[in-house]
Structure 1
């Protein structure tokens, strides 16, 4: 590993000032991804700025009913928090599907958002990779690309984003809070935080140089909403998604009042399925309607020879998740005296 300097910041202002005064620096929280990349020679920061002493570990309910999650909160603390489990089950499910217990205990909320692709060509410095070295080429395109993107990829990169948590946040309409020493604080929708590769696959997110992820904000769930996260992977424990789905559903008198659908494992970022959502909103959520909406979304897929199976996998996963949520929402409506979805004429 290349030698590096180390700075431990006590405040946001100290961290931002340290970044500005140390060219080639990187922020570090749990380090579960960054340290591995440093060992491989993929990341070679001149200075690490430790954020673990910053007051960013709390998970608190705001007066608005929103939940504010500090960027330093561990994945374990977030997954098991009572309000997360009761109000945002898709988020808890995504976190628990994301890694081993040991990693969840160390990994932070902010770090989870900023983790980089697990594409093996990105992690192998002997191979060309536009994400690691812009202009060098994409070895994955003509190589082994079974796990790679089928949506939103470009000629420069076919990598996928590995976070399970980010997929759930996109479906839950969360916001990411960012801070820098010059401009203060701003918020970005979780669905817009990560970028598609385009001509610049080295830019994973819309974060500006020196900005610090300080929090994730979850809006209060709509009355009657149900949510679910489901992940297809090669083995039952500790594997990245071949495809995953996070969904939120609200029914009103047997029709879809609100639906949010996000895919993971298919693109360079969590893929918010706007086309499917538009088709389903206001419709009776029959199996046929759900499948047609999902098919309309996946019509944009451009699979490569080695990963065409992902389209069928994602379709079946999304239809199953939405069908499960329709049953759940219908059962809740029946319990409250409202007509369930399948009784709607």
Structure 2
């Protein structure tokens, strides 16, 4: 379809060079064992002096229905040995094309299932799916969304204690929350110096700085050599039934949230397609549309999840349907 050249043996695998639109592309199929595939990928990127932001990994996904495709950047490995190896060699911030194969139903059948071939009846839908993936339909004006892990369980526990302490002791914040109908507590309007006030928040900021720097690089921000700096940081303790309607964060470049406590049913972060006000007569999307076509995307957090987005992206906190409090810390960088 894209006129790729002949197969070559290099980088501990097989490669083909070609172009997709205006982009020069190298296809690499590692010849290593799956759990060592990161070695081959790392060798290729080092040769071309490229970082993980230039990498797209195509992989099978047990947790997606057969022939369903989703694309994301960053995140965990979900037990996939090839992703785990790539993460170990390059870090998590590469693009993943998740190709659904479905689950065989029992964990004892997984190994044979993922190593087996497609059934004859599956070949036509497989061909359709691969054709759609390979079609030259570039995505314009991409919106980045970062999902990372703080990676410090001890600090998460300390921050939970710190957030609950504030919810009890910050009288101005409690009063503001009550006056503005916030179901729970937020320090948004009462405290603007948490990192200076409490070393636990200062330790958090040191870790967040690294995540924000990676996200800024993925967004291709031209910062003239400077780094984005923390502008504001506040605590949210959301009681059952609490919510926060759709909004943006003006006067900032990057916004985000670190999740401290997310009991079952606490809900997702709901992200809105920024093109929505301009779609006018556009038809609704099919139920099986990928995330890049969705009107709304729901990002499900867990304790330690770090979500980042550009501050103009409209988002909302869905109602907390859990029996306990959902605790998070939000922030802006500029």
Q: TM-score, normalised by structure 1?
A: 0.26
Q: Which has the higher strand share?
A: 2
Q: TM-score, normalised by structure 2?
A: 0.27
Bigger radius of gyration among the two: 2
